[in-house]
Amino acid sequence: MSKKRGDRPEVALTEGAIRVSWKGRVRTILPSPKPQDAEDEADFFVDLDDVVCWDPPDDETEIEMHELQRILEAIDEAFERMGLVVAYE
């Protein structure tokens, strides 16, 4: 069974940010500074506390936990395809 477009988040790396498009909404994730205690040598650090709501005009809509899990899976897959490493804090 094939999945229809829109069933999974689409991830693009654009000018130093991650842009996630899903179900007609967009979330732009900016990199966070590398934590001092980070052991990971990641190309991109994401502070999960910053991934709470969608971008305007949907900025009043919270990203649900199940949506966040799907978004993180899609980001991981996209970074793996590009040969990059993402770390979550």
Please determine, for residue 3, whether its predicted confidence score (pLDDT) is greater than 50.
no
CB < 8 Å & 24+ apart, contacts of 45-49: 45/86, 45/87, 45/88, 45/89, 46/18, 46/75, 46/86, 46/87, 46/88, 46/89, 47/89, 48/88, 48/89
What is the pLDDT averaged over residues 78-89? Answer: 94
Hey, is 82 helix, strand or coil? Answer: helix
CB 9 within 8 A of CB 71: yes
- pLDDT tens digits for range 13-55: 988 899 999 999 999 999 998 877 777 689 999 999 999 999 9
Report the alpha-carbon distance of residue 39 to residue 66 in Å, rounded.
27
